[in-house]
Structure 1
Amino acid sequence: MEQFVEFMGNFGPLGLAIHSFLDAIIFPIPAFFTQVSLSMLNPNNAIWLATLGFFACLLGTPIGYLIGKVFGTGILTRFVKPELTNKATNYFKEKGSIAILIGAFTPIPFKVFTILSGVMKYPLWQLMAYAAIGRATKFYVVGVLFYLFDRAAATMVDSVSLYIFITVVPVIVIFLLVRKWLRKRKERKALALQQGNEQEAEM
């Protein structure tokens, strides 16, 4: 992994863009490592690097989705560890939106979620929306830390990312659950009203 990160770092921002793009499709090493490595070399460019990595990741997301939609589970079983695939699949079966959002923050390779979204025919626009939220947070936290604290940010990145995960993610998850509950409540009311109208019409 260190050799690969060093290799990509030789290409500078272009290396990060390529790594981020592949990270959303099929590559097993997160682009986080290349971003940190390049940000340490030039902290003044950290925000630009975060922006580049973020958009490259978004460009790769629909391709990972298409791979999952066309080729199915065979891709996952070949390139991703079974325990990671099973974990992500269980998330998806329970709550797709929350699974993608959490996946954007966790160490689980994000390609698992892009490919799974295609396999399970999850709406692409929702995948892009939740990927944008999670990946933007992850990339820009690193970028802002290096921009503000220079190379000292290298010791802060992991702990700050953890704090964001245990604070921001639960808030968003609660919001999604409440929205889903309100939507179901509205549907039940509409159904009850429809049934009431049908009974009145029969009378």
Structure 2
Amino acid sequence: MLNLGQWFGLRRLYEWVLSWGHSRHARKMLFLLAFTEAIFFPIPPDILLLTLGLAIPRRAVCMALLTTAGSVAGGLLGYAVGVWCWPLVADFFYHYVPGFSPAGFAQLQQLFLRYDFWVVFLAGFTPLPYKIFTIGAGVFQIPLGIFLLASLISRGLRFLLIGLFIYRFGEQTRDFTLRYFNKLTFAAGLVLVAGLCVAQLWR
């Protein structure tokens, strides 16, 4: 659980990210945010995608594709960190990056061994912290092709849904996305998990 200082720190980061929407480098910052969030940054790119997309709805789908590209590229770097650098950087992530813990990684290993593609897909599509799974996929040597395919599909689906909602519904998308989008994607993820469990029982 976040303490008060951490909460205010995240709030200031959130407001700082939103301020990028008024910059002439906004699209570059969107790509950079998506890239870094896939490795260590705590603020998801959805909020900046929403801000920029609502400013120019006809470009929302293009911005969603840009966000997808940044996130998948960052995911590949996260994967590389897991493969080659994890023993050197593990303590840093455990102490300073929210969501990382030795116990959590032990549980993650068991999930990856059984459901490699679906674990990455769920992390990429739902509000789960994608960064944990990009690095974890590298640490536990998930095949790169499986990781890349799951990331492209899940991140593309998540961000394109936001882009298409903005293009179709405009300003109405803001409240829907902020209130319900994460809940709906998480619910869809739970349905998928339930389906996988049923499939395992019927084997």
Q: TM-score when scaled to structure 1?
A: 0.76
Partner of 2:131: 111
| Larger Rg over CA atoms | 1
Change (3 A) 1:143 1:7: same
Change (3 A) 1:161 1:81: closer
2:17 counterpart residue number: 4
| Equivalent in 163, 183, 192 of residue 184 of structure 2 | 163
Indicate how the Cα distance of structure 1 residues 105 and 50 shifts in structure 2: closer, same or farther if over 3 A, else same: same
Tell me the CA shift for residue 149 of structure 1: 0.6
Per-residue CA distance 1:132-174 (angstroms, 9 max, x = gap): 221111101110111001111101114244324323x356546
Answering whether residue 77 of structure 2 is matched by residue 60 of structure 1, we say no
Report matched runs for 1:111-190 at 5 Å: 111-157=131-177, 158-167=179-188, 169-170=189-190, 172-173=192-193
Judged with a 3 Å threshold, the aligned counterparts in structure 2 of structure 1 residues 83 and 58 are, in CA distance, closer, same or farther, namely closer
CA distance in 1, matches of 2:169, 2:144: 37
- For 1:47 and 1:4, how far apart are their aligned partners in 2? 20
Aligned-residue sequence identity (percent) comes to 24
How far apart, CA to CA, are the structure 1 residues paired with 2:100 and 2:162? 28
The one-letter code matched in structure 2 to 1:24 is A
Unmatched runs of 5 consecutive residues or more in structure 1: 186-203
CA distance in 2, matches of 1:35, 1:70: 31
Does the 8 A contact of 1:13 with 1:49 survive in 2? Answer: yes
Q: How many residues align?
A: 182
Aligned-partner Cα distance in 2 for 1:85–1:127: 22
1:82–1:29 Cα change, 3 Å: closer
RMSD (Å) for aligned C-alpha atoms: 2.6
Does structure 2 retain, via aligned residues, the 8 Å contact 1:23–1:29? yes
Taking structure 1 as reference, are residues 85 and 8 closer, same or farther at Cα in structure 2, changes over 3 Å only? farther
Alignment partners' CA distance in 1, 2:81 and 2:47:
25
Shift of 1:65: 0.7
Any gaps of 5 or more consecutive residues in structure 2?
A: 1-12
- Contact kept? 1:80, 1:112, Cα under 8 Å: no
Contact 1:9-1:16 within 8 A present in 2 as well = no
TM-score normalised to the size of structure 2?
0.76
Partner of 1:90: 107
Bigger Cα displacement from structure 2, 86-95 vs 154-163 = 86-95
Instruction: Tell me if the contact between 2:36 and 2:74 (Cα under 8 Å) persists in the aligned partners.
Output: yes
Q: Do the aligned residues in 2 keep the contact of 1:9 with 1:37 (CA within 8 Å)?
A: no
Q: How far, CA to CA, are the matches of 1:85 and 1:138 in structure 2? A: 28
What is the deviation of 1:80?
2.0
Report deviation, 1:66.
0.8
- 1:7 and 1:41 map into 2 onto residues whose CA distance is 13
Distance 1:177 1:16 in 2: 37
Match of 1:80 among 94, 97, 102: 97
